[in-house]
Structure 1
Amino acid sequence: MSARASNAVDWRSAWTAALDDLEMDVLAVETMLADERRIAEAPPSDLWRPPTELGALPLELRPRADEILTRQLAAAEEIARRLTANRQQMAMTSRIETGEAVKRPVYLDCAM
């Protein structure tokens, strides 16, 4: 194998490995979104970092990269939706009176 062919194989392998790492990161987020209890029990410890000096993405890996991007965007949209829902729920619960601070009658005597 020539040096040029070897470099092309190394370049493609490096991009494949980078996409593998990125896909595992998206899968971890999707898994946490599917199981809310898991988020509290095991927060992510190793965040994905983009590799450096890879060069251009090989054309044959473009469909896979596009699919990963689509999944990332869907996960980000779901996270935003859940954050909004949490804020709305917090706003609603903050308006609920527990009766602790203000003493009010619990019944009205209509017999009089």
Structure 2
Amino acid sequence: MADQWRQAWIAALDELEADVEDVERMISNDHRTQELPLAKPWEPPAGLGPLPLDLKPRADFILTRQLEAAKAAALAITANRRQTAFASRVEVGTPGKQVPTYIDCAM
């Protein structure tokens, strides 16, 4: 029984770790070469019970990675928004202003 309980927690932690690895890959340059599905919210399996004490360091490490990945994602989103705002000003001069169109009537 204790082994089944421990194995259930190992499987749950494996799932959490896979989710954070997906986010870390999206943040890295790997996201440019592959499409990753949206992460689904994690739900602990039914009847999992309390975390075995010997797995607490792994769970804490995964939590730390999740928090770091969330921070990196937020910084990447902020940088992307700033870059988009800058690019919109460079392309048209001011945000929302129409781009001039020139027609070559010589032809």
TM-score of the two chains, using structure 1 as the length reference: 0.73
In 1: Cα distance, 2:91 partner to 2:11 partner:
54
Could you list the structure 1 runs, at least 4 aligned residues long, displaced by more than 2 angstroms after superposition. Answer: 45-49, 97-103
Fraction of identical pairs, as percent: 52
Q: Which amino acid aligns with 1:65?
A: A
Q: CA deviation at 1:45?
A: 5.3
User: What is residue 10 of structure 2 aligned with on the other side?
Assistant: 16
Give a deviation string over 1:52-71, Cα, whole Å, max 9, x none. 32111111000000000011
Q: CA deviation at 1:10?
A: 1.0
Q: If you compute each CA radius of gyration, which structure gives the higher value, 1 or 2?
A: 1
Gaps of 5+ in 1: 1-6, 104-112
TM-score of the two chains, using structure 2 as the length reference: 0.76
Q: CA deviation at 1:36?
A: 3.3
User: What is residue 96 of structure 2 aligned with on the other side?
Assistant: none
